[in-house]
A and B are shown apart, each in its own frame.
Chain A
Amino acid sequence: MDEVLQQVGKLITEVVGPDFLLGVEITRDTTFSDDLGLESIEFVALADKLNAHYGVDLVAFLADMDIDEIMAMSVGRLVDHITARV
């Protein structure tokens, strides 16, 4: 599971650019919305990378969530999803 967390952290860093993560350590509790402030185009880029790396469909994963779940969506929840699928 740690390995998946590490890899997801690496993919997020690639999408956002390392300069913008200075001081932000990506943990299971890091939220996409508030902590990372992922912009829509970055979200699409991350979805592509996750799909290429794990064959996981991020859009389909989110499609099942309501607005509060999406707001609270954390790296840990994504990691669990990937771990369960792969």
Chain B
Amino acid sequence: MSRFLFVVPPLTGHVNPTASVGGELLARGHDVAWVGHPATLAPLLPDNARILPAIDDDLEAEIRAKRERWLALRGMAVLKFFWEEFLIPLGHAMVPGVADAVRAFQPDVVVADQQALAGPVVAREAGLPWVTSASTSAELVNPLRTMPKVDAWVRDLLHDFAGGDIRFSERLVLVYSSKALVAGEFGDEVAFVGPALEHRVERSGFPWEWLVRGAGRDSAVAGRMGGGAAERSVLVSLGTLNGPAGERFLTQALEAVADLPVRAVVVGEPRPAPPNVLILPSVPQLALMPHLDAVVTHGGHNTVCEALAHGLPLVVAPIRDDQPTVAAQVVEAGAGVRLTYSRARAADIRSALESVLDEPEYAAAAERVRASFSEAGGAAAAADRLEKVVAG
């Protein structure tokens, strides 16, 4: 039995893979704890999970307010704000709480999310091994490689904070993807374990009867699709951080699906919608996947890999951060169509959806990625690698 401490930022997409890997370690009888923002962590983790605080509610509210301002930015200003106003200050703010957690929990290994910079700093100070949980594969391919001065600026910030590039552990980097999506040569420490979906906790309810074939179907839509033809279902999930550009895209997406013979589950605040659309503020996304035929997304790494893990083709309209890189991976693999988030119109979204639903190559490519994920092993493979770190 060993002790594993996960260090995570207050961001759902970064907690989710650790919930799965931590759940697997717990199932194997290890002791596991998470340190971060307790109110963000609690709903995503098992009921009996041990949660330690490194971010209080005031700081979390401050981070959320900052992200609101960040949403108004465009182009390179997004990257500058992300590092200077978010990642580095968050790293500093989390150091005391993470240090307390290390003293209280006495872990054998610290598993630090790539955006929880306090993890490696505290672990090194305490003489503990630390590993990286890369909740997106984008950093691995270094999106800044064509802008060496910007790349050097990021490295300088990391050097000032930690004396080195702590985005990557030299012992182990867990990547929740596979080489079917991520091109390149990597060292043995980089473990492509595929999406970690086992043991995940989803607390949102869902009106499953809505998805039952034929139910809630608009008769006009049914008529257009020739009576008894099986209706297909799609999910439109644009993440939680969207701003005004998100409103625009969502409006266009609603118009796009209104005329298609599909049922669409849309994640968003309630608003008027066509009869074949169900809008909910949150959905149990993983539980929904087996009932879907395609996913429209902004290209969040988790949503994209969850969809591909179910062999679903994608329409990806990336907004910022790692999303353009993730979208390019999907297109390169042949598993989806990419749209321009800030400019795609209803007609573009409709034709992209028709392509991924009707042209079998997309689903076939998504199926190839699914097989590669399945082979990668998921949470069990991640837990195997973590156990090896303890064994030395």
- A residues apposed to B, CB below 8 Å: 16-17, 19-20, 31-34, 37-42, 59, 62-68, 70-71
| Chain B residues close to A by CB (< 8 Å) | 74-77, 79-80, 146-150, 153, 318, 324, 327, 338, 340-343
- How far apart sit A39 and B341, CA to CA, in the bound complex (Å)? 8
Docked pose: A71 CA to B150 CA in angstroms? 11
CB closest residue in chain B, given A16? B343
Distance between Cα atoms of A57 and B38 in the complex (Å) = 49
- Knowing A39-B341, A40-B324, A41-B338, the reply to whether A34 touches B74 (Cβ < 8 A) is yes
Which of A16, A65, A68 is within 8 Å of B147, CB to CB?
Answer: A65
CA distance A20 to B348 in the complex (A): 15
A-B contact pairs, 25 of them (CB 8 A): A20-B343, A32-B75, A33-B75, A33-B76, A33-B77, A34-B74, A38-B75, A39-B324, A39-B341, A39-B342, A41-B327, A41-B340, A62-B147, A63-B146, A63-B148, A63-B149, A65-B147, A66-B150, A67-B80, A67-B149, A67-B150, A70-B147, A71-B75, A71-B77, A71-B80
Contact A17 B76 (CB under 8 A): no
In contact, B343 and A62 (Cβ under 8 angstroms): no
CA distance A59 to B144 in the complex (A): 11
CB-based contact A67/B75 at 8 Å: no
Q: Are B75 and A37 in contact (CB under 8 A)?
A: yes
Additional A-B contacts beyond A34-B77, A39-B342, A67-B149 (14; CB < 8 A):
A16-B343, A33-B77, A39-B341, A41-B327, A62-B146, A62-B147, A63-B146, A63-B147, A63-B148, A65-B147, A67-B80, A68-B80, A70-B147, A71-B80
Q: Closest A-chain residue to B344, C-beta based?
A: A17
Asked, given contacts A67-B76, A67-B80, whether A37 binds B342 with beta carbons under 8 Å apart, the answer is yes
Residues of A within 8 A of B318 (CB): 39-40
Contacts of A19 in B (CB 8 A): 343
Q: Are A67 and B79 in contact (CB under 8 A)?
A: yes
CB-CB under 8 A from B76, the residues of chain A are: 33, 67, 70-71
Q: How far is the CB of B229 from chain A (nearest CB, A)?
A: 34
Q: Which residue of B lies closest to A32 (CB)?
A: B75
Determine how close the nearest CB of chain A comes to the CB of B219; give it in whole angstroms: 34
Closest to B75 in A: A33
In Å, the complex CA distance between A31 and B153 comes to 22
Q: How far is the CA of A32 from the CA of B319 in the complex (A)?
A: 16
Min CB–CB distance A41 → chain B (angstroms): 7
Complexed CA–CA distance, A20 and B193 (Å): 41
Complex contact B150–A70 (CB within 8 A): yes
A71-B318 Cα distance, complex, nearest whole Å: 20
Tell me the nearest residue of chain A to B339, going by C-beta. A41
Which residues from chain B contact A71 at a C-beta distance below 8 Å? 75-77, 80
List the B side residues contacting A42 at CB < 8 Å: 340
Question: With the chains together, A38 CA to B74 CA distance in Å?
Answer: 8
Q: How far is A16 from B341 in the complex, measured between Cα atoms in Å?
A: 12
Q: With CB as the reference atom, state the residue of chain A lying closest to B245.
A: A37
Nearest CB on A from B88, distance (A): 14
Asked if residues B75 and A34 are in contact (CB atoms below 8 Å), the reply is yes
A60 to chain B, nearest CB (A): 9
Bound Cα distance from A34 to B73, whole angstroms: 7
Q: Which residues of A contact B77 (CB under 8 A)?
A: 33-34, 71
Residues of chain A contacted by B327 (CB below 8 angstroms): 41
Bound: A32/B77 CA distance, A: 11
Q: Which residues of B contact A20 (CB under 8 A)?
A: 342-343
Instruction: Enumerate chain A residues within 8 angstroms of B79, measured Cβ to Cβ.
Output: 67
Q: Closest B-chain residue to A39, C-beta based?
A: B340
How far apart sit A37 and B243, CA to CA, in the bound complex (Å)?
A: 15
Q: Which residues of B contact A33 (CB under 8 A)?
A: 74-77
Q: Is B75 within 8 A of A66, CB to CB?
A: no
Chain A min CB distance to B367 (Å): 26
